[in-house]
Structures are given as structure tokens and as C-alpha cells.
Structure 1
Amino acid sequence: MEMADRKDAENKVSEDNNNNQGVVDQSLADREAEDRERQARELKAGLHPLRVEGFWVCYCHLARPSTLPSPTDLHLFKEGIRPLWEDSANCNGGKWIIRFKKAVSGRFWEDLVLALVGDQLDYGDNICGAVLSIRFSEDILSVWNRNASDHQAVMALRDAIKRHLKLPHSYVMEYKPHDASLRDNSSYRNTWLRG
């Protein structure tokens, strides 16, 4: 008799576990459905979820620009785009250049990085990436774009950068197409447009 009672008890526990697993699976499915519905509502409201956890894991461990030796270049580019003039995404483009005193470059760099990761700049699809070049006497921030011949997009990007970074009027922005950089083998000399 004892053996049969034990067997019945084990079967009952097994059934309960299966039922509990079914409840857990259903609860998980309900939560996932709720998440999808919430995301759909947010998208309709003009919001989009940012998936930047991987970025923060790296960014929190980076040295701040003020602690880095000269010369050092920090690059932040969209996935699949290399920070090279010759890269297919960059070859027809150029860059806006802003020169900063060393004491303030880190703040402007961080503001720009957050704007790029958060997709907060107008004409964001035209942006390839950004570079902070730490040099002996100054730091140089550049925002690379895809198409140097689209004058309207180039100027709109300039305006978006100025507006988002709240650049004082004393800061001059210079533009240089990458093909010009290739010709004179320099990123920052002989710029052709100021704004």
C-alpha cells in the first residue's frame, strides 16, 4: 500500500510541476505580448526604444579625453563604416571640423557622442561617424558625412551640430571633403568652407 501511495504522490507532484510550468510559460508569453504592445504604442507616439546597453558598457570604461596623450584619435562610427577616407560610405563625403581648447573638448565630445547614439541630429542618415583628435595645442572634433556634393545637407548638418552642441558664436566650423584630404594628405589643413 505504501508504494502505491508514494507513486500517486509522485504523479501528483509531476502533474503540479507541469501545470506550474504551463502557468510560467503563459505568464512569460503574456509579458512578452504586453512589451510588444507597449513598444507599438511608443512607436505610434513617435518614441523608439534605444538599445544602447552595449555602448554604455564600453563607454563607462573609456578614459576621458583630458587624460589621453597627444596625439590620440577617438573614433565613433556606424557599424560597418571604417574611419577611413577611402571607405565606400565615406569616399564621396567630407567632415565638419571644430577646433577646441583642451579644457572644453571633452564636454563637447560627450555631447556629440550622446547625440549620435541617441539619433538626435537632423540628417542623421547622412552622418557616418565622428572623431576627436587630441593634439598638443588643441583638440579637433570632426563629424563625417556621406555626401560632400549635397550642399543643402552639408549646411543643414552644420546647423544641427551648432544647435545641438550649443556652440558659442566664437567657434568657427570648417568643412573639408575627403577627396581633398586624400589630395593633400591631411585631415585638417586647407579646408574650403567655413560656417
Structure 2
Amino acid sequence: IEITERRHDEIMDNIKSQYVSDERHSRELKAGLHPLRYKFAIWYTRRTPGVRNQTSYEDIIKKIVEFSTVEGFWACYCHLARSSLLPSPADLHFFKNGIRPLWEDGANCNGGKWIIRFSKVLSSRFWEDLLLALVGDQLDDADNICGAVLSVRFSEDIISVWNRNASDHQAVLGLRDSIKRHLKLPHAYAMEYKPHDASLRDNSSYRNTWLRG
């Protein structure tokens, strides 16, 4: 997907008005950089189809890079393979730094995720739009968002957005509406929600979802 100058400018304008820690803000401004409100990390997971072993999920998930500025985001994003070039099954995890993309992590354990399924020809564009919304702090209730995952599968690609509190029904629905609005999805487009404790019980990320909307 081509990265447009217009999108770059929109992100920069939005981020300039956001709060960041004074120390990091001062240091990065002196370097001529534009600090983000949150520091992010990108992780990658690749599993061999049809092979089951005793390796834990935590052992196969690898952190690729961290960044905390607009410039750092674009430098990382420009070098990431698009979903159409990733092997299947594979996952890209885009999380606030300090939060591991694991159900059991302290920031995630009481939360859940909204799940959006896309055809493989469309996923790259929607993934890019979602990352821009996360980096630009454009989604509602941003403090409640932990990160997002792009899951490349054989027949479809799945994008999920993780939040901290699955029991706050109003916040969960508000996040759904914010995602649909920023991705310009039709109001009736199907999204599914699943708490992480349910995923732990059935050892599945995307089956047996609890809520559709």
C-alpha cells in the first residue's frame, strides 16, 4: 500500500497536540523529531502449519522494533512486509510498549478484543488505516486500548484490537463504533468480541466469540 504524504501530514498535525512525558518530549523535540503520545513495539509470530510441539507461545513471539516518534513509525512501517507477502499462519502485533501481546499479560488479562475478518485483498489497506489511527491517537478512549494484531491465515486475514476491560460493556461498544468510524466500515459490518479469559479457557483466539456487532 502506498503511503501518502497527506496521511503523514494528518498524523503529524494530530500528534502535535497530544500529551507526552516532559523528558522524552524535550529530548525528541531537540532532535527535530515529533514524539508520539505512546511508545509502541512491533512483534512477530510465525508458526509452522501442521506442526505441534511443546514450545510455548511466549517463546515464539519475537519483538522486532520499538519507536516513540512519528519518524520512527514511518521508518519501521516502510520496511514491514505487507500482509500479502507474509507466510500463513503468521501474526504481526502492534502494541503499546511494555504490554506483551499475550492474553496473560497484566494489561490484557481482564480485557478482550474486537475481531474483524477481511478478504486477503483488502486487509493491507485496513491494517494501515488502523495503525495510523492508533499512532495518531484517533480512536476513542485510547488509554483503554492495548494494541492490535494482524493475523494472516490461509483463507482470510483477521485484524483484532485489544482493550483492557472486557466487563465495561459501554466502553467495549464504544471502541467498536470508533473502529468502524475510522476504518469507514458500514454500520452493519460484522465484528466479533471475545474476552481473553474465554480464549484462555478454549485455547483459541478467534473461535467461539461472545458478541457480534
Greater Rg, structure 1 or structure 2? 1
1:47 corresponds to which of 17, 23, 32: 17
1:193 maps onto 2:211 in alignment: yes
The within-5 A match list for 1:120-135 is: 120-135=138-153
Distance 1:63 1:134 in 2: 12
The within-5 A match list for 1:45-194 is: 47-48=17-18, 50=36, 51-169=69-187, 171-194=189-212
Q: Summarize deviations over 1:28-83 as a string: whole Å, max 9, x none.
A: xxxxxxxxxxxxxx99xx92354321121111111111111111101000010000
Distance 2:124 2:188 in 1: 18
Distance 1:170 1:146 in 2: 25
Percent identity of equivalent pairs: 82
How far 1:128 moved relative to its partner? Answer: 0.1
* 3-state secondary structure, aligned to 2:122: helix
* 3-state secondary structure, aligned to 1:102: coil
* 3-state secondary structure, aligned to 2:88: coil
Structure number having the greater helix percentage: 1
Contact 2:103 2:109 in 1 (8 A): yes
Please, what TM-score do these two structures have when normalized by structure 1? 0.75
Structure number having the greater strand percentage: 2
Q: Summarize deviations over 1:123-175 as a string: whole Å, max 9, x none.
A: 11100000000000000000000000000100000000001101134530000
How far 1:102 moved relative to its partner? Answer: 0.3
RMSD of the TM alignment (CA)? Answer: 1.7
Number of residue pairs the alignment of both structures matches: 152
Gap regions ≥5 residues in structure 1: 1-41
Instruction: Please list every run of at least 4 consecutive aligned residues from structure 1 whose deviation after the TM superposition is greater than 2 angstroms.
Output: 46-51, 168-171
Contact 2:112 2:194 in 1 (8 A): yes
Distance 1:90 1:64 in 2: 26
Gap regions ≥5 residues in structure 2: 1-12, 19-33, 37-68
Q: Summarize deviations over 1:97-122 as a string: whole Å, max 9, x none.
A: 00000000000000000100010000
